[in-house]
C-alpha cells in the first residue's frame, strides 16, 4: 500500500509547516466555477485538493483528472459514503465517524468499500472523524443520524480522539460541519492536540485568514476550507499569505 501523501503530511509537520486543503464538492463545482477557481489555485496553490460531499449525485473522476492535469496537486478523496471512490485520486481518507454511534458510518460502509479499495492500490489514510457542534445542524449529523460533540465538552473530544489513535487511526479530523456557523473551538483544538501524536485535521466554518491562523496556532496541522471558496474563490490568496 502506498504511503506518499501521509509521509508528506508527516514531513510538513516535522518541518513546522502548516497545511491547507481546499475541499471541492463536485455537486457544487460547476464548469463556470471551475474556470474561475483553476487559475486562482494555479497561482495560490494549497497542499491538497479534497474531493467529496455528503451525498454526491454526479461522477467526479473527470474533475480529479482536471485538477491533477491543470495544477499537478495531490487529490485526496474525502468521501461521504462508499460510492464516493475513484482510483484516479492520490489518496483516500478512510473515515470512521467515531463521534457517532451509528455502525453504518463506523464500520459498515468500510466493509463494503474494502475490497475495491484494496484492489485499486490507492493510498489509504485511516481517519478518526469527530463531529463537533458548529452552531448549526450539519449535513453529517442529519445523514448519519448521529449527534455532534457539544462545543464545551473538550474531554469528550479528547477521549474520542485518543480512542481513534489507540485503534490505529493515522489522523484525527475535528469537523464542525460544512458551512458551520462556528468553527471548532480553539480550546478544544488545543486540548486534543496536546495529547494526540497523529496529525490533526480541522475543518468546518472557517471563513477568513484570522480564523485559519487561530486554528493553526491552536494546533491544527491541516485545515480544510470549502464553502467560503464556493462564493468567494479569490479568498484563496488571503488564506495562503504568510
Site residues, ligand 1GP (CB under 6 A): 23, 175, 178-180, 203-206, 224-228
Q: Which residue has the closest beta carbon to ligand 1GP?
A: 203
Instruction: Give least dist CB 121 to ligand 1GP, A.
Output: 26
Distance CA 138, CA 207 (A): 16
Q: All 3 cell numbers of residue 197? A: 501524536
Q: How far is the CB of 115 from ligand 1GP (least distance, A)?
A: 26
Nearest to ligand 1GP of 52, 120 (CB atom):
52
Our CA angle for 168, 170, 171, nearest 5°, is 125
- Give least dist CB 206 to ligand 1GP, A: 6
Q: Which is nearer to ligand 1GP, 120 or 204 (CB)?
A: 204
Sequence-separated contacts (24+) of 115-120 with Cβ below 8 Å: 116/85, 117/85, 117/92, 120/85, 120/87
Q: Which is nearer to ligand 1GP, 15 or 219 (CB)?
A: 219
Would you say 85 or 129 has its CB closer to ligand 1GP? Answer: 129
- Residues 6+ positions from 136 with CB-CB distance below 8 Å: 177, 179, 180, 181, 182
Angle ∠(104,92,22) on CA atoms, nearest 5: 110
Using the CB atoms, write b or e for 209-234: b if 16+ within 10 Å. Answer: eebbeebbebbbbbbbbbbbbbeebe
Instruction: Please report how close the Cβ of residue 42 comes to ligand 1GP at its closest, in angstroms.
Output: 21
Q: How far is the CB of 23 from ligand 1GP (least distance, A)?
A: 5
Contact 154/162 with Cβ under 8 angstroms? no
Q: CA-to-CA distance for 46 and 55, rounded, in angstroms?
A: 25
| Shortest distance (Å) from residue 222 CB to ligand 1GP | 10
Nearer to ligand 1GP, 120 or 213 (CB): 213
Considering beta carbons, is residue 198 or 201 the nearer one to ligand 1GP? 201
Amino acid at each position: 500500500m502506498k504511503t506518499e501523501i501521509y509521509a508528506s503530511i508527516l514531513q510538513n509537520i516535522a518541518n513546522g509547516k502548516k497545511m491547507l486543503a481546499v475541499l471541492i464538492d463536485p455537486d457544487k463545482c460547476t464548469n463556470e466555477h471551475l474556470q474561475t477557481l483553476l487559475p486562482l489555485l494555479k497561482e495560490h496553490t494549497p497542499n491538497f485538493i479534497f474531493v467529496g460531499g455528503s451525498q454526491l449525485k454526479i461522477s467526479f473522476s473527470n474533475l480529479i483528472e482536471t485538477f491533477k492535469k491543470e495544477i499537478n496537486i495531490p487529490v485526496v478523496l474525502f468521501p461521504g459514503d462508499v460510492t464516493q471512490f475513484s482510483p484516479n485520486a492520490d489518496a483516500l481518507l478512510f473515515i470512521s465517524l467515531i463521534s457517532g454511534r451509528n455502525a453504518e458510518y463506523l464500520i459498515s460502509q468500510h466493509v463494503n468499500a474494502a475490497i475495491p479499495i484494496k484492489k485499486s492500490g490507492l493510498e489509504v489514510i485511516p481517519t478518526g472523524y469527530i463531529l463537533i457542534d458548529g452552531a448549526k445542524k450539519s449535513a453529517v449529523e442529519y445523514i448519519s443520524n448521529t449527534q455532534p460533540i457539544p462545543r464545551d465538552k473538550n474531554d469528550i473530544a479528547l477521549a474520542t480522539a485518543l480512542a481513534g489513535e489507540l485503534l490505529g487511526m493515522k489522523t484525527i479530523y475535528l469537523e464542525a460541519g460544512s458551512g458551520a456557523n462556528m468553527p471548532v473551538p480553539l480550546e478544544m483544538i488545543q486540548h486534543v492536540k496536546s495529547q494526540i501524536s497523529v496529525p490533526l485535521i480541522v475543518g468546518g466554518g472557517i471563513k477568513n485568514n484570522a480564523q485559519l491562523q487561530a486554528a493553526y496556532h491552536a494546533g491544527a496541522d491541516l485545515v480544510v476550507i470549502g464553502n467560503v471558496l464556493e462564493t468567494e474563490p479569490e479568498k484563496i490568496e488571503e488564506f495562503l499569505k504568510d
